[in-house]
Structure 1
Amino acid sequence: MHVPDGFLDAPISVATGAVAAAAVGLALRGARRELDDRTAPLAGLVAAFVFAAQMVNFPVGAGTSGHLMGGALAAVLVGPWTAVLCLAVVLLVQALLMADGGITALGTNISLIGIVTVVIGYGVFVLLRRLLPDRLESLPVAAALGAFVSVPAAAAVFTGLFAIGGQAPVDTGAVLVTMLGWHTLIGIGEALVTGLVVSAVVATRPDLVHGARSLVAARHQQLRETVTA
């Protein structure tokens, strides 16, 4: 979903740039509460994994491309604030060194890929955590469904931006159908990847997973109570 330069008009690019800058500023403060000496290395690994996953692009027409986004995955593993930072760094490097996404469209890409997917994906994850059985095995399912929903949600937000300030001679309805169709399919792949990765990390080091902290703390509390009983 990397948006190229000139695809959206200047007011939209400026507005999304302001949103992205504000979000990154808040994330810099919020990430301090999510990271510690144990989890900081995981954030680097998550950023590297997302960077590699986003290198696989699928053309979806009108000059845009679709790919795995990683917002929900990053949010579940390292927390939503840290996830925003990870994706912002990935998108910045891609724009500067890989010409993947435009410089003037960097704020738009961060807003779509680094904010919308994180907010929607993690929001769905938190909601499902309350509905599913309260155990570690539920985490990959909740993360996968959050990832699935986040991808077409970002595509829908992009279409809304295009309807307001799109510069390409393409009908908005056609953009919506194309973007949602492709990104629903991409969302299925994103769900599978997210579920598998979260399942693997939870199985080996659940204490490092941000989305599992409450369950791990509860298990430790039960163990202490059992030992002292």
Structure 2
Amino acid sequence: MLKEALLETLWPTRCAGCERAGKVLCDDCIRNMEYIDAYAACPICGDPAGLRVCTRCNAPVEDPEHRVRTLECRSAAMFTGRMAKAIHAYKDAGETRLYKPFALILARIVPPPWLDEADCVTCVPASKAAIRKRGFNHTEPLAQQLASNLGLPYRPLLVVGNVKDQRGLGRRQRSANMRHVLKVLPDTKPPQNVLLIDDVMTTGATLEAATTALKDAGAQTVRCLTLARA
């Protein structure tokens, strides 16, 4: 406690979204992120403007060899402004305490039927290179805290092999990058209904690869939650 008090005196906690002193993510930033309106979003994949005609769900498959399954997803906010700053602070600037407010934000967007049917929470794991760079698997504490908030067990189910950094890649490149990279842990059988957590959905290639791996291993439904959508 004394050490924490000293550190707080020397380097006071500042909000990752606006740099205001006091909290790691202040109430004003939490209120004023660019949240996605669930009533205007695609009821399947969560595309922010896809309620009537979802261009993502109806888009042609660019790579016929890549087996794309219908992706059930909800995202809390757009990857802009304060949310983008907070996620960058969490992943790349060492502000690991953000997993707690992030988990609270995620808990608010879980559809009740998803919660009722879920058997466990898991996450898309970071690559070995990303863990070496950041010093931690950024999705795991977020998924663990969310599981605790929801009263569900957390289970690590996936492992990731060697993969290039996804940032800057298009949909086809991301799909090729993730193909056969995400796999279920050896000697592991997923439960029937899984809540899958990631930080940002860009093209959906990573979540599609993880969903395919889990379903191939025995899961019946895989529902995805992300903090943000690019």
**TM-score normalised per structure 1:** 0.31
**TM-score normalised per structure 2:** 0.31
